[in-house]
Amino acid sequence: DPAVVFTENGLRFRADVVRGQKTGFFLDQRDNRARVGALAAGRRTLNVCAYSGGFSLYAARGGAATVASLDVSAPALADAERNFALNADDPAVRRCPHELLTGDAFALLPALARESRRFDLVILDPPAFAKKRDEVPGAIAAYGRLARAGLGVLAPGGVLVACSCSS
């Protein structure tokens, strides 16, 4: 098994360093994940493009009322579930209901909006939409579409966290 278990800010994570994206975990988001944890208390939280659930787990530990992890990759969401299990000794993580939503964010977010599902904290952390200069216009449009879709499920007074890793 090429997976390793490591600790970040007191939470344990499993990362597949051979088959995972980049290192198998996005270490550059450590401070942002901690900030989400500080914002999450009592909030219904949706983590979009959740990958292995880093933001989701921080939100749960931070006292989120519920956490939903949305990703197009079922294996990534299985890793998120494993990461929750690794931290089941934390009472807040253990108490927090964790829902897995598998599918494309551009299709699922509008479907959730039509179902009147609303969240108090929405995290948008998509993969890079641009890796070269000529991809920038399309990336800007995609980030805009994702932000509008995220706002469509954000409850009044909620918090939207938007990240970008385009180079």
In the chain, the largest separation of any two C-alpha atoms, in whole Å, equals 48
Query: Does 165 qualify as catalytic in the annotation?
Result: yes
Q: Are strands 44-48 and 154-162 parallel, antiparallel or unpaired?
A: unpaired
**Among 69, 163, 161, 154, CA closest to 120:** 154
Q: Identify the active-site residue in 49, 96, 163, 165.
A: 165
Would you please indicate which residues are annotated as catalytic (active-site) residues?
165
